[in-house]
Structure 1
């Protein structure tokens, strides 16, 4: 799916977040210590190589909703924006914390004059956030922030599973 709103292209498709060759910055669904893990964090760290973990060490720990930026090293991108999403049922006001992930990632993107950014489905893996609810939060947040974006011209949601892709596409039809 591809849609243009407020001069920003929004894409939603299935793929590997660590293989977005035409994107300036990819977003890592990070853990608090910003270290390799499972899911998105593992894929990004494996593709970026060990220098990514070294660059992350002085930036950790981060709190839910926070975002930090590093070079992308061996990834085909310029930057990795690391966001710590909320653990569903543990970190209260999950929707607000998840919204802050998208807000802070886009804010960093604007500060670095990034033209394109790719997001995974933050917090929906090991952190247990229901995909349906996470898609609502992500898409509403992005939709609200579009008028304030000046550098970012492409926002891509890269979903790993066909089920997540279907949910995001359905939600995007209603929200964007």
Structure 2
């Protein structure tokens, strides 16, 4: 129960931080556009385990706009796709996982294509490890069950990481072009 309380507290803090930040209407539209694309991408690729562009788009937002915005996109993706894919306590930990991998986008060099692509690979594992905490609720918080989840989920995390890297590499130039077109419309 403490894990759920901590997850809700962390999510609430991120939402408050996002609400207090000044953000232009143009940037808000861009975040909504990327969120919609990530949601559709996650749903379209749902039949292929751990292959989807959502995480790549979230990391691109986190690196190029900011980690708080990346977390908000991740939150929207998880909550809205869970309406179609199923929900449970693990949804909170998927949001926390997106929060952690988004917040790590403040590290130096994350705006470069190569570094972000490599980080996308690693974030497949980070996401899997953190979201596995949600499944501990069903195992009475057994350490053995957690290690089993980490080990058996390793292949899925690898697939997630590789798909992140591929999607980041492919989407990076398109994402920047669209982002700059929204930046150019600030005055209109």
Larger radius of gyration: 2
Q: Which has the higher contact order (CA 8 A, sep 6+)?
A: 1
- The two structures have a TM-score, normalised by structure 2, of 0.30
**Higher share of residues assigned strand:** 1
**Higher share of residues assigned helix:** 2
